[in-house]
Copies of this chain bind each other. A is one copy, B any other.
Amino acid sequence: MTDSRRRCRCAVLGASGYIGQHFVRLLADHPAFELTTLVGTERTRGQPLAELWQLPDAALPKEADLRLESLGPSEIARRGIDVVFSGLPSGSAGPIETELARRGVNVFTNASDHRMDADVPLLVPEVNADHLDVLLRAPRRRRGAIVADPNCTAAGLVVALRAVWDLLRPRAVHVTTYQALSGAGLPGVASLAITDNVVPFIAREEEKVVQESQRMLGSVFRGSIRPSSVPFIVQCARVAVRDGHLEAVTIDAGRRPGLAAIEEAFRTFDPLAGHDLPSAPHPAVILRTEPDRPQPLRDRWAGSPERARGMAVSVGRIRWEAPFLRFFVLSHNAVRGGAGGSVLNAELALERGHVGPRKAR
């Protein structure tokens, strides 16, 4: 997608955090984005990210040799950064991202602050690529775009739901989660709180899953999002798993196609086929037919090609108890539900011409 063009210069905000480190890993050697700048905190400035690296089992990318800098929005803009990937914590992210966009920097964010803004697409490319259109509603003074990826639980869920949405015409969706430790970032959950335990509560999580899922499954009407009115009933819990959110889903279905048709719908769901998006998994959903899958340990890294590892959503144990269709969904919370989601969003936005190297605009 980028052979003939200069790569977009990009920075990662919150680079020393869990999502931030995944951004760095995913942007290493990226064909469209050139990672030039790592923004950390006052405390970590000057340290090579490699010294703070927390992701096990992954080879350290050369980009981790960059030193963390402490930069504000104006400095970032002055550096000629085209795109920022934000792994900042929700709360502090909002104003910084607003200011960056005002200064013409495009922001792809994992933070929740702007997810419900009318002029910010809450985007999962396989699900609601047309929501990019709300960027047109952004005020003139916002010269850069802000594009948000959803909550880590909602991200995998909506991919699976989209695959069968029209086939099943859901009247209600029940979701119960088994969420991984890394969903809480670093340092995150205390070991004494979770070893030999399950914690049936994650602050503000259920509300986000409901609201964000309804928005993403909604439609665009005259530049505005009309959220889906299908009720989501969501119960969230934390389990002692490092990565990978598992979700038990029950759809109260308005239509009752046969299992074979449903499995076919999952198996063939690949709305980004034909697009040249390096981080898009093909297919988008991996259908597991074993009796005991998907499992976090074994399915969290699903996805091909290599650059899309961790981006596929695994679905299994599909059963009818009409009118209820039940299944389990699994996705990597920090990749599909985090850094990888935003990188894919940026790839789509680049393809659509919403962002690009500055000269190209």
Binding site for B on A (CB under 8 A): 18, 54, 56-57, 174, 176, 178, 181-182, 186-201, 231, 233, 235, 237, 239-242, 246, 248, 250, 291-298, 300-301, 316-317, 321, 324, 326, 328
Contact = CB atoms under 8 A, between A and B. Distances in A.
Given A191-B193, A196-B195, A297-B196, A237 B246 contact: yes
A213 to B, nearest CB: 14
A339 to B, nearest CB: 16
A-B complex: 10 closest residue pairs judged by Cβ atoms? A176-B176, A201-B292, A197-B297, A187-B190, A235-B248, A191-B191, A176-B248, A189-B191, A200-B328, A56-B297
A197 B188 CA distance: 16
A170 B292 CA distance: 30
A186 B190 contact: yes
A301 B196 contact: no
The count of identical subunits is 4
B191 A190 contact: yes
A71 B38 CA distance: 46
A311 to B, nearest CB: 14
28 contacts: A18-B192, A54-B192, A56-B301, A57-B297, A174-B233, A176-B248, A178-B239, A181-B195, A187-B192, A187-B193, A189-B192, A191-B195, A191-B240, A192-B242, A195-B195, A195-B240, A196-B242, A196-B296, A198-B239, A198-B296, A199-B295, A200-B293, A200-B295, A200-B317, A201-B317, A237-B246, A239-B239, A240-B240
A324 B233 contact: yes
Contact of A235 (B181, B192, B300, B326): B326
A292 B200 contact: yes
Given A174-B174, A190-B190, A195-B195, 8 more contacts: A54-B192, A176-B248, A181-B195, A191-B195, A197-B298, A201-B292, A233-B321, A233-B324
Contacts of A240: 191, 195-196, 239-241
A16 B263 CA distance: 29
A18 B192 CA distance: 10
Contacts of A176: 176, 235, 248
Contacts of A317: 200-201, 235
Contacts of A298: 56, 197
Given A197-B295, A199-B292, A295-B197, A188 B192 contact: yes
Nearest to A249: B235
B235 A250 contact: yes
A246 to B, nearest CB: 5
Contacts of A189: 190-192
Output the residue of A200, A246, A295, A298 with the most chain B CB within 10 A.
Answer: A200
A291 B201 CA distance: 7
A227 B242 CA distance: 42
Contacts of A293: 200
